[in-house]
Amino acid sequence: MNMKKIEHIGIAVKDIEASNDVFKALFGKQHYKIEDVESENVKTSFFKCGPNKIELLQATSDDSPIAKYIEKKGEGIHHIAFAVDDIISEIERLEKQGFRMIHKTPKKGADNKLIAFLHPKSTNGVLVELCQDIKDELN
């Protein structure tokens, strides 16, 4: 199996602070990380829910993919992310299967991950993200 598990579910939000309050009340605990991802023009906030994670995403610029998403569809589930061991091999495998990649080369994402997105036109309208832990150079 190339995809190990659901890594997280991404939710597009207009106001990350107000949304943090909503999810804190929902889960009964505070987020564990807030991080800016400059390459995607987003601010993220992560919550743990059992073994699963929820990522809240707020646009930091009007041309951010999240700003465009909210403008078209409103707040809500934006993407589902899957953990993989070898993102480059997984991109190659999926392209050979006919899937369209938004990112053919992985890039640094939030939460110490390399990421790449599949185009939703090739995944029944679902934006899919691949995530690989960035290995510590010292190990």
* Whether the predicted pLDDT of 136 surpasses 70: no
Cα 14 to Cα 1, 7, 34, 42, 75: the distances in Å are: 36, 23, 15, 11, 7
The pLDDT tens digits of the residues spanning 89-114 come to 999 999 999 999 999 999 999 999 99
The pLDDT tens digits of the residues spanning 7-59 come to 999 999 999 999 999 999 999 999 999 999 998 899 999 999 988 999 999 99
Instruction: Kindly write down the DSSP assignment for every residue of 45-71, as one continuous string.
Output: EEEEETTEEEEEEEESSTTSHHHHHHH
pLDDT confidence of residue 3: 84
Q: Are 114 and 106 in contact (CB under 8 A)?
A: yes
